[in-house]
Amino acid sequence: MSFEIVNNQFLQQLAAAGASHDILACEDIYSESGVKLLANGSTLGDDIQSRLLHHKLRRPLEHSIRVADAPNNRTLLDTFNHILDQEPILAHWASHSGITLELQEALQRLNLPECAWSALAIARHSDPRFIEHGLRVALIAISTAQTAGQAWRHLLPAALLHDIGYLYLNPALWKAQHPIGPGEWKQLSAHPIIGQMWAQNVAGLGGEVAALIACHHERADGSGYPRQIGGERLGPVAEILALAEMVSGMLEHRSYPLGQLRVAFKLLPGQFTRQTRQAALSGTQDLPVGDAPAIATDKIEEALHQLLLRFGQALEVLEQLDWHCTSHVGRQLKQRLADRLNVIQRAFTSAGLDVWLPESQRESVPNGDTFWNELAWIIRETNWHTRHLARDLTRQSLLLPQSEAHAFEPLAALFLALSDELTRAGL
């Protein structure tokens, strides 16, 4: 991707932001052939797309514009303080690690290049929650890094800008509320790399920030994206940013995030190292999980029945994949799926229910609210997990030969069907 060639999606979002913000050229903008397209100080108006699209510029457009009322240090500090006031979980998290005052001071002195402030303004216009999300990720990441004894200087700008690659994609993709197909996933999963390339082109951010942005959806076990790197190649600071991004999503979209977080770590132990999980959970250990809404036992039993049915079918498909998986990538994907299903099995076993045994061989279901509450938590998290398994299968299928990719499609359909059924059951 070349930033000298004006990106159509970025230009559309820039034009949309220009309807309510003054966006100015901060220097003369020339095409590569030397034609002056915009003069220094001119306002980018409605005709911006027709004037700039398809041109190759001498300098990236992003470096040649500024948003007059872009966010600034005061904006970040006020938004951060609002989060502390309104979200007690995050306030406790910051207080437990002792970074509240230090992070407030860091926000006041954060020195971002002007084009980064402008990018935040354009992103916030497209998604009013963009800066809040970045600050949540920053708070969780820095609190976890502080507890783990890791340096966090680069985490603050990386967290604020980690999703900046979305500016170069169709907003319908990253705002989609429905499962998306392989072609769409191929585009969407590129946003960390686009963000890395953007940061590498911004003087003053540095390679460390760009590298962290590239890794905010990776996982320690190599199951993340876009590069599937893990272990030492990922590194502890990038792993912490990836965990913070996941946890922030839970806080923003889950009704009972602490309970789900603790169950998620039980179901996804390999995605983050023990040290990182422990550092993150230490910030919430004194907080009550909270009671989830009561769900009738018969609904939980029905949801469990559907889960057993679908996972039984998934195991059958996995066995059949032995005949189809001839590539190294295919065999790796099959093994990763089997490992994840085994982790889910262990989570149910820890609650006192061996979900892989036939019902006739299973011991009687334990009685008591504690059992049913824990089972409901695990089923809820399995719902979230199976939808993400379907998403990961769709994404990973892009790396497979076509014949193998088709063999995995029934699994993705099974996982999506299970998630839909659990959601209808209130789980």
Q: What token pair was written down for 32?
A: 């590569």
CB atoms within 10 A of CB 74: 10
Q: What are phi and psi for residue 31, nearest 5 degrees?
A: -75, 165
In whole angstroms, what is the distance from residue 327 CA to residue 310 CA?
A: 26
Please answer whether residues 228 and 142 qualify as being in contact, where contact means their C-beta atoms are separated by less than 8 angstroms.
no
SS3 content of the chain, % helix, strand, coil (to 5): 65, 5, 30
The predicted-structure confidence for 86-145, as pLDDT tens digits, reads as follows: 999 899 999 999 999 999 999 999 999 999 999 999 999 999 999 999 999 999 999 999
Q: What token pair was written down for 318?
A: 């996995």
Cis-peptide, bond into residue 226, ω within 30° of zero: yes
Q: What DSSP designation does 210 have?
A: H
In whole angstroms, what is the distance from residue 240 CA to residue 237 CA?
A: 5
Tell the residue number behind the tokens 């904006």, with chain if given.
75
Among 90, 133, 101, residue whose Cα is nearest residue 280: 90
Please answer whether residues 153 and 167 qualify as being in contact, where contact means their C-beta atoms are separated by less than 8 angstroms.
no
* DSSP states along 216-284: TT--TTS-SSSS---HHHH-HHHHHHHHHHHHHHHHHH-SSHHHHHHHHHHH-GGGS-HHHHHHHHHTT
Mark the ranges of the chain whose per-residue pLDDT is less than 50: 357, 361-363
Identify the three-state secondary structure at position 229.
Answer: coil
> What does R_g of the chain's alpha carbons equal in angstroms?
23
Q: What DSSP designation does 20 have?
A: T
Contacts of 292 (CB under 8 A, 6+ apart): 255, 256, 259, 373, 376, 377, 380
Please answer whether residues 124 and 131 qualify as being in contact, where contact means their C-beta atoms are separated by less than 8 angstroms.
yes
Secondary structure (H, E, C), 173-189: HHCCCCCCCHHHHHHHC
In whole angstroms, what is the distance from residue 378 CA to residue 388 CA?
A: 15
In whole angstroms, what is the distance from residue 178 CA to residue 34 CA?
A: 45
In whole angstroms, what is the distance from residue 383 CA to residue 427 CA?
A: 7
pLDDT reported for residue 367: 54
Q: What token pair was written down for 385?
A: 């997990």
pLDDT reported for residue 244: 96
CB atoms within 10 A of CB 209: 26
The per-type count for the chain, helices as H runs and strands as E runs, is 20, 4
Could you list the beta-strand ranges (E) of 326-421. Answer: none
In whole angstroms, what is the distance from residue 199 CA to residue 202 CA?
A: 5
pLDDT reported for residue 361: 45
pLDDT reported for residue 354: 57
**Whole-number Cα distances in Å, 35 to 10, 29, 310, 345, 352:** 22, 8, 62, 64, 73
Q: What token pair was written down for 311?
A: 């996972």
Identify the three-state secondary structure at position 385.
Answer: helix
Amino acid, single-letter form, for residue 124: R
* DSSP states along 47-65: THHHHHTTPBBSS-GGGSE
